[in-house]
A and B are shown apart, each in its own frame.
Chain A
Amino acid sequence: MDSVRYDREAAPPPVPLALKILIAGGFGAGKTTLVSSLSEVRPLQTEEVLTGAGVGTDDVSGVEGKATTTVAMDFGRITINDDLQVYLFGTPGQDRFWFLWDELAFGALGAVVLADTRRLADCFPSIDYFEERGIPFVVGVNCFDGSRRFSLEAVRDALDLDPDVPLVLCDARDRQSGKLVLIELVEHVARQRGEPVPVG
């Protein structure tokens, strides 16, 4: 199916290419903080509304009267250039919103899984999710103040991570630190496709 079109009509401005990166991890692991520190715009938030009728059913039309729940989604934007934008989406934390992940993950370049060493197990479901779907991801160990420092190797063992999956320390509050995690991810994506990204 080749429904993707980038029309080169007469009148600019052109439609930029948007790359989607997911920021996942357990509740309180720093997802919102990371998205906020990296986004060039104010921390944006949008809501997805869940309707009872909308879940697991595709053929819904007409007027529905089911109860609705709103789920806040953090998202941020980084403009690389006029033609290229990176969108960051924080995944909803609760298990019952897994199906929203499928929409978020559709066409995603990859994901950052934030791990909190105080509650390492919280990021297991995220790791499983991306592993099962073959979506490239890196794990960022968010170093909170006062959190116990573990060696990266100990964390890797505890997470039972594939040796190819990059594992990096980061501080979600710090833009420079956060951007290194994203760079790690993009380089990992390139490596997975056998196309190393040259420096420079």
Chain B
Amino acid sequence: MRAEAPGARHEWLDAAAGPVVRPYTLTGGRVRPPVGGFDLVAFVRATTVADGAGLPGLQPEHRRLVELARRPAALADLAADLNLAVGVVRVLLGDLLARGLVAVHQPPTAAHLPDDNILKAVVNGLRAL
């Protein structure tokens, strides 16, 4: 639930105005997550700890992240959905990870590139586009 009083918006706050709050204000000035590094295509999933919990002490953005991560979601998608910078979302996810509210699945590294079957599936999938 977001406590946003209706009618409180100012008419000069449109998309062209740019962010009203400087990006890292949301993170209390932190630019690095407390734990973990999150690749742009790392998938985040809410854990059972997050189920039904009141999630006290979390900001609205944290809560939205938990909601979005009910289904596995990539960091890049989360940042776009929340319209927040990737770096900011990393810090917020780090908070959630530290509290055990989300689990992170890092993508395979270059050393573990997908096998032939996967590449084949990609080519076939692209052909079908």
Contacts and interface: CB of A to CB of B under 8 A. Distances in A.
Interface of A: 3-7, 13-20, 38, 44-49, 51, 53-54, 60-65, 68, 70, 73, 75, 77-78, 80-81, 84-87, 89, 103-104, 106-109, 175-176, 179, 182-183, 186-187, 189-190, 193, 195, 197-198, 200
Given A48-B86, A197-B116, A17 B108 contact: yes
B43 A15 contact: yes
A51 B24 contact: yes
A109 B112 CA distance: 10
A193 B24 contact: no
B39 A47 contact: no
B122 A46 contact: no
Contact of B86 (A15, A46, A86): A46
B40 A89 contact: yes
Interface string B29-44: 1111000000111010
14 contacts: A4-B107, A4-B112, A14-B72, A19-B114, A20-B107, A47-B79, A75-B76, A78-B129, A85-B74, A106-B39, A106-B110, A107-B41, A176-B129, A197-B120
A90 B76 CA distance: 12
A19 to B, nearest CB: 7
A175 B112 CA distance: 29
A17 B87 contact: no
Interface in B67-81: 71-72, 74, 76-77, 79-80
B118 A17 contact: yes
Contacts of A13: 71-72
Contact of B123 (A81, A89, A176, A187): A187
A186 B126 contact: yes
Given A64-B30, A195-B119, 15 more contacts: A4-B109, A15-B72, A18-B74, A20-B40, A46-B76, A65-B29, A68-B22, A75-B80, A78-B129, A84-B125, A106-B110, A107-B41, A107-B107, A179-B127, A195-B116
The 6 closest A-B pairs by CB, nearest first: A80-B125, A63-B29, A18-B41, A49-B85, A44-B80, A46-B79
